[in-house]
Structure 1
Amino acid sequence: MRGVGEVMQNGRQRPGPDLSVVIPTHRQAHCLEPVLESLARQTLPEEAFEVVVVEDPSEVSYEAAAERALELGFRFETLPGRAGRSATRNHAVNLAHGNVLLFLDGDCYAEPGLLESHWRFHKDAPGPRAALGSRLEITSLGFAGRLMRGEAISAEERGRHCFDMRFPAGLPAEAVRLAMETPWLYAYTNVSVPRALVTSVGGFDEQFGLQWGLEDIDLFYRVYVRMGRLPDAFVYDESMVAYHLPHYRNRGSEIGQFLGNEPYFRRKHAHFEVEPSVDLPDISAYQIRLYRQRVAQFTASGAGRTDESTWRRVEELLSTWPTPRVLYAGLGTADLPLPSGTITVDHGAPPSRSNEHVLGLSTGYPERAFDLVINVDLWRLLHWQDFCAHVSEALRIADELLLIRTAQPGDRRIEIDGDPAADDRDLEYFLRALRSHVSVITDRSETGALLIRCR
């Protein structure tokens, strides 16, 4: 096996950031063999890295690929039974020795300088950071064949026959910088990160089981949060190139499995950063950045708090259930006599199992988990499409939704960007739009707060 730990320089040894290339594989032996060859042709000295491949078994034979891995000095193991992507990766991590882990898929063909680029990034990084390289999709089988035969490929040819679906060629640097504010949306392969960060968050979540999708995004979201959501926690470098080799994919099956994993993913994290779909990362990244700003504005505005008069109306509604199950979104929840077991959404208080920092677009709760969802002003932050999603989600997980718009005397009007019902002049159209799909009853508290009951 290739050694790890020291790199020769001027005849002397110096410590390196010990790089382990971690590769899970399943039913892709035809891709894995050229991938291994690409890793044997790296500019990084072989003493500086190791390659660990773990097969999640299937009916496809890996005998030739395993033999080639051993000939090249790489480690190859097969799990005793089908375990899924998370368990396969965790096993490979446990076998690896490096202080830095580079996650590649078994269909990612490495350019000669890939490992050296990742190695140097971590050597020069100011602290624990993650490096995200490009993954180029290949549009031509002829190009793929030439690549795998080791033939010279010009930049012009690469530009004609490849594209990066995450960061297209010519994308402005500012767009990439903004994308890296939500890096987990893009971090599904060709990502290197200090081993200590991976182990500190518990590795890949094996609860995803045999389903395809989201286990990698889940890991790197947890890594990002562990790094304190630093704006430079993840750095994208387009010169770190891996090619995504063509292989057969059943996209319908993959999408079905991906969608099956989404409720677990969202329920696990209960934060508005994971509510938008990751299928369209650019749109999701924009939504997340927007709502980060609006939530900060909301918590500083004085909105979201229920006065005594309005709370009496809420209590009247709560009394219609013997033991109401409530999801309550608003600020100042610690000062309210909420029913026992209430799940709060209070962005002004620390997140916990009973206080979530969501917006209510896609909660991951099962149907009818609650009797009532109450939303005090938080709904006013939402784009119209997201507001509609919130109403639909609330009426999926509860029998009734109560929207409250707190009273706003003219001299203390709360300005909330994006408010779908800024003042009473907007309400007629707003309520007509709601009534076209749900039963709506409106009421006023003595202090002028508007209560909108939706069923």
Structure 2
Amino acid sequence: MPIRRYLTLSIQISVIIPSRNKFPQNLLTLFSLENQTLPPYQYEVILIDDASSDATSTIPELWKFPFRLRLLRLQANLGRPAARNAGIRMAKGKILIFLDAEILVEPGFLESHLLLHQQDNRLLASGVLTMKGAYTQLDPGFNEVQLQEAYTLLKPQPAFHPAYEKFIKTGQGQLLLGREDIKKGVYRQLAVQKVHEALYEDEILQRHGDRLQGFHLPWLISHTGNLSVARTAFQQHGYFEEYSGYGWDDLEFGYRLFRQGYRFAHIRYPFTYHQEHPVSPSVGNEAHTNFYLFQQKYRQISLLVLLLLYIPSPMSFHQVNLVLDEIYRLDAESVGLYLPLIGVMRSMLEAAGYLLRFGQPISHLLTHAGLPPDSVKRADFEAQRSALAASGRWSMLGEALNRLLAL
């Protein structure tokens, strides 16, 4: 058997990395992928250069790696979902791992994903909830919070003082780490807790564990910053939605698999590290737009309850999970008696999603849902809501309704 054919058969994992103008951070990511416990012949790395104007396309010419690196250069900027889909079509591995271009991984990263999929072939695994931040460079585009965070990290570490002083003096970006530093794990000295890590820990992981038992929204871990799934999942259930702009294409895919009965696992160790970089001010609006497209595709209460996180006086992840739990139990126990009330709640949430998408005040949701004052439908809804409250049960569902009605 020819050697090339043998190597193709040996590939267990394809790591897919879309990148747009992320050099040299994407190079540091590749350096971290060469320090794995898995033999290099068992994985390939597909780097999709999404029409970058930086030095990304030169990486295979200037650097050699122990694993097979495949570069796909797109002639036009297609966006991350389309870039990932292009990588999927190239992939040879049975398991696909998606990384953002600026994610550093520790030595056991690939093996931790592979072991889970060897145990369960209908699984989506992710480690994003406990991802750390890391300052591998100083960027003139950092905001004040990032600049202060970087300064606090570097101040007690004299080895980095020359780079910091040059950054302050010249205003030019400074790379803090090289290939040998990545191999030695120096990035751990430059790590910080991400803003949402403590929240996810308290609200989700400490309550439901890494297998998310009893959590009705497990697909929320489906972030492609660190995500793995069998290649057959895409063959059977379709590729990423190619939303324009930032966000929600990966969560939509996770929700799609959730509806198909896939299971979900969070990988706590080994940690991954997001190399901090300037954030585009357009990200928020783009995310609202894509979230709205996601909502409109399914229009299911199991998805729409997420809007309780975005309304004025929002609920927490834990509370939203309890709301959904009560909805499911109420429907089962009442044999559909309260379907009209749940339908009105769904319509109010849809209205909230529309108003959020178009930047309008989230208010008067019953009217937006087609239940104006003094209407028969509104009277019927209020009667069911009163009966729900009188039962002395379903307190979290009642609280969610109260918050929506107060807007």
Indicate whether the TM-score tops 0.5: yes
Are 2:360 and 1:360 equivalent residues in the alignment? no
Aligned mates of 2:103, 2:309 — CA distance in 1? 20
Give, as a single letter, the amino acid of the residue that structure 1 aligns with 2:77: R
| Rounded Cα–Cα distance in structure 2 between residues aligned with 1:236 and 1:409 | 40
| Residue 340 (structure 1) aligns with | none
1:186 to 205, 208, 221: 221
Q: Cα offset for 1:257?
A: 0.8
2:321 to 273, 278, 288: 288
- Measured after TM superposition, the shift of residue 254 of structure 1 is 0.5
Give percent identity, aligned residues only.
20
The CA deviation at 1:109 is 1.1
What stretches of structure 2 of length at least 5 have no aligned partner? 135-148, 155-159, 161-174, 356-360
Cα shift readout 1:81-132 (whole Å, capped 9, x = no counterpart): 1211211110000000111111111011111111111122222x14421222
Is the deviation greater in 111-120 or in 60-69?
Answer: 60-69
**What is aligned with 2:276?**
246
Query: Does the 8 A contact of 1:267 with 1:364 survive in 2?
Result: no
Q: Which whole-Å deviations, capped at 9, do the CAs of 1:177-197 have from their partners, x for residues lacking one?
A: 468542222321211111112
- 2:25 partner SS: helix
Per the alignment, residue 27 of structure 2 pairs with 33
CA distance in 2 between counterparts of 1:241 and 1:398 reads 48
Shift of 1:65: 2.7
| Pairwise CA RMSD | 4.0
Partner SS, residue 60 of structure 1: coil
Identify which range, 291-300 or 165-174, moves more after superposition. Answer: 165-174
Deviations 1:134-183 (CA, angstroms, capped at 9, x unpaired): 421125475893586226348xx948832255543975643544685422
3-state DSSP of counterpart to 1:74: strand
The answer to whether residue 245 in structure 2 is matched with residue 211 in structure 1 is yes
Which residue matches 1:257?
286
Residue 226 (1) aligns with residue 260 (2): yes
Distance 1:420 1:54, change over 3 A: closer
Which secondary structure does the structure 1 equivalent of 2:271 belong to? strand
1:364/1:20 Cα in 2 relative to 1: closer, same or farther (>3 Å)? farther
Residue pair 2:14, 2:43 contacting (<8 A) in 1 also: yes
Structure 1 residues 126, 282: closer, same or farther in 2, change over 3 A?
Answer: farther
Conservation of the 8 A alpha-carbon contact between 1:4 and 1:50? no
Counterpart residue number, 1:3: 7
Write the mapping of 1:359-378 to structure 2, written as runs, cut at 5 A. Answer: 360-363=348-351
State the 1:246 CA deviation: 1.8
Q: CA deviation at 1:284?
A: 3.5
Map residues 76-155 of structure 1 onto 2, 5 A cutoff: 76-123=71-118, 125-133=119-127, 134-138=130-134, 140=150, 142=154, 145-146=176-177, 149-150=181-182, 152-153=184-185
Kept in 1, the 8 Å contact 2:17–2:84? The answer is: yes
CA contact (8 A) 2:132 2:191 kept: no
Whether contact under 8 Å (1:137, 1:165) holds in the other structure is no
TM-score, normalised relative to structure 1 = 0.63
Contact 2:31 2:182 in 1 (8 A): no
Q: CA deviation at 1:57?
A: 1.2
Q: Which has the higher strand share?
A: 1
Change (3 A) 1:302 1:25: same
CA distance in 1 between counterparts of 2:371 and 2:282 reads 33
Aligned partners of 1:120 and 1:285: how far apart in 2? 29
Distance of 2:214 and 2:62 partners within structure 1: 38
Match of 2:367 among 372, 392, 395: 395
TM-score of the two chains, using structure 2 as the length reference: 0.70
Q: How far 1:258 moved relative to its partner?
A: 0.7
Matched residue pairs, number?
339
Out of 270, 288, 311, the position equivalent to 2:299 is 270
